[in-house]
Amino acid sequence: MSVIETLGSRAAHLNTTLESASPVEVIETAIRMVPAGRLAIVSSFGTESAVLLKYVSDVDPGLPVLFLDTGMLFEETLDYRDRLVDFLGLTDVRSLKPQIDLVERRDPDRDLWLSDTDSCCHIRKVRPLSDALGAFDGWVNGRKRFHGDARASIPHVEADGRLLKFNPLAALSRKDMDTVFETEGLPRHPLEKLGFSSVGCMPCTSRTLEGEAPRAGRWRNQNRSECGIHRIGLPAGAGCGC
């Protein structure tokens, strides 16, 4: 049995064990299962990120949090990041930026998003995260099933190449999320009140209309709903000719 197959078996077993687990229990399990110093939290500091980060801070505010600073984010997101870090007492937030030479070579005019969003996302998100995760054996993210599409059936634990990936919020509903915001007094992303239910890079994020899915404003009118960081086992440098 290969290492990947063994990891897949571990993930399947953990997922069964954690089927009814709370977010905190999933995070605590991740800490137990992944060697010390080899577990990372990945957060966009978007409209729903405070909930995952609140649970993380309750368990261990010193866990490394990886934040993809693409160079094309809303200023409101950067301000919100700083506010949440202070509010929750997070002590190890690391900003990941795209390689300067790669951006200069592939997107010198910062308009690649107009013609090739896959490559733009790869340069600014997938590649930096893939490189950073080389130092870890597991990671935690904030995807939820109620977002639909590819997220509708995500497990609490899955194998992601050679890493274990934990989804503590997988089973939470939109109502559950709102309840945590209210009971914990968590600050909201400033763009949420302006109609943005999900926030990414400025060029590819728009407001959502009443009744639309939470991520409908991401890459609107394009046949995609993900940036690529959740493609299982995606190797560094794949997909954009880097």
Show the 3-state SS of 143-184.
CCHHHCHHHCCCCCEEEECCEEEECCCCCCCHHHHHHHHHHH
pLDDT of residue 235: 37
Q: How many CB atoms lie within 10 A of CB 168?
A: 30
Is the backbone of residue 166 left (phi > 0), alpha (psi -120 to 50) or beta? beta
Tokens 């709102």 sit on residue: 178
Q: Where are the domains of the chain?
A: 3-204
Tokens 């009814």 sit on residue: 20
Catalytic residue set = 227
pLDDT in tens, the chain (242 residues): 455 668 889 999 999 999 899 999 999 999 999 999 999 999 999 999 999 999 999 999 999 999 999 999 999 999 999 999 999 999 999 999 999 999 999 999 999 989 888 899 899 999 999 999 999 999 999 999 987 676 777 899 999 888 999 999 999 999 999 999 999 999 999 999 999 888 989 988 888 888 777 766 676 677 655 565 655 343 333 333 33
CB 195 within 8 A of CB 208: yes
Element containing residue 26 per DSSP (H, E): helix 23-33
Report in angstroms the alpha-carbon separations of 197 from 26, 128, 224, 241: 25, 25, 17, 32
pLDDT of residue 224: 56
CATH architecture of 3-204: 3-Layer(aba) Sandwich (3.40)
**Using alpha carbons only, what angle is made at residue 40 by residues 53 and 87, rounded to the nearest 5 degrees?**
25
